[in-house]
Structure 1
Amino acid sequence: MRWDQLFDDLEAQLGAQERRERDSEVADRTRRERATVALAARFAAALGSTLRLRLVSGAQVRGELLDLGEDWLLVRTGSGGEAVVPVHAVAGVTGLPARASSARTARRFALGYALRGLSRDRAQVAVSDAGGHVLTGTIDGVGADFLDLAEHALGESRREENVTGRHTVPFSALVLVESR
């Protein structure tokens, strides 16, 4: 009888050890799998969701994530406008789902291509940089890593007499481009 108790105890210890090893292996595999998930896949899973983006300038943008590219996000803000946010300008996000999406990938074009669309449409924009400065006007041109802005008041057309300055903003300093 004592042998039965001893064997039962040894079997229980062996079972507990196997469960600990299996749990450890599952946790390790989960960590390895999570390490392969890119932020873009988390953003892709959030399409249509309301997010709050904390930007490197300290500003915050809250709104519905409408679209995303390889290095930019398009958000419909609470004021009804739309904002292009370079991913490098995002310092933190609230509202991302825990899951990632492989079904919907980001658009293949980069920030410059998206900004060229605003330039082509002659959209009036407010451009915010990493220093917290906001310039308003119309994007005249977009280079490989910068944009040229004809500064004028929002609501005024881009006519030479309304232009108060011309500014070049490197993409590395770009934090937010809001179209009104």
Structure 2
Amino acid sequence: MRWEALFEDMEAQLAAARGAELRADVAELTRAERATVHLVDRVRSAVGGPVTLRLAAGEPVRGVVLDAAPQWVLLDAGGVRRALVPTGAVVAVGGLPAHAAPPAGTVERRLGLGHALRALARDRVVVRVRLASGDVAGRVERVGADHVDLVEDGARAAVRTCWSVPFAAVLVVASG
């Protein structure tokens, strides 16, 4: 009888050790997987949900995530208002789910801020660009490799100013 009890005890200890090892392996794999997740992938997983973006300067931007790419996030800021926010201007995001979307594909990774701004130029949309130094309003006239040209939407053509704004200075591009 004592031998049976001894072997049962050894089997129970072995099973407990295997269970502990499995739990440790799962925890380590989970941490390793989380270490590969990019913030924008978590933002992409929030499409259709509300978030708050805290920016490097100025007021936070709140809205429902419509789309996101590695270089920008597009929010529905209420009504017809849209906010295009460069990810480089974001210092914190509130309201994200714990899970992440799969990493962006090759094409999606190439959709930079310039692509989004060129769509606004094509549609002749009047926008307000928030900078740390203040706002610039106008139509997107041209989009370069690293800057956007905005022409003020003034009443008289002779007094319209064209502002060339580096992408790095843009906090938010708002329309509507």
TM exceeding 0.5: yes
Tell me what 2:137 maps to.
Answer: 136
TM-score between the two structures when normalised by the length of structure 2: 0.84
What SS does the aligned partner of 1:46 have? coil
Deviation at 1:167, TM superposition (A): 2.2
Deviation at 1:169, TM superposition (A): 1.4
- 1:10 partner letter: M
Query: Mind listing any 5+ residue stretches in structure 1 that lack a counterpart?
Result: none
What SS does the aligned partner of 2:157 have? coil
Q: 1:58 to 1:10 in 2, by over 3 A?
A: farther
Deviation at 1:14, TM superposition (A): 2.6
Tell me what 1:45 maps to.
Answer: 45
Alpha-carbon distance in structure 1 between the residues aligned to 2:103 and 2:89: 25
Deviation at 1:28, TM superposition (A): 0.6
* 8 Å Cα contact 2:69-2:104 kept in structure 1: no
The answer to which of 20-29 and 9-18 deviates more is 9-18
For residues 17-166 of structure 1, what are the structure 2 equivalents within 5 Å? 17-78=17-78, 80-102=80-102, 106=108, 108-129=110-131, 131-152=132-153, 156=154, 159-161=156-158, 163=160, 165-166=161-162
More helix by share: 2
Alpha-carbon distance in structure 2 between the residues aligned to 1:12 and 1:94: 46
1:24-76 Cα shifts (integer Å, max 9, x gaps): 10101111122222223222221111111111114211111112233111111
* 8 Å Cα contact 1:68-1:107 kept in structure 2: no
Kindly, what percent of the aligned residue pairs are identical? 44
How many pairs were matched up?
174
TM-score between the two structures when normalised by the length of structure 1: 0.83
- 1:48 partner letter: G
Alpha-carbon distance in structure 2 between the residues aligned to 1:80 and 1:117: 17
1:129-164 Cα shifts (integer Å, max 9, x gaps): 2x2521222222211011122235xxx55x42452x
Deviation at 1:15, TM superposition (A): 2.5
1:170 aligns with 2:166: yes
Q: What root-mean-square deviation, in Å, do the aligned CA atoms of Structure 1 and Structure 2 show?
A: 2.4
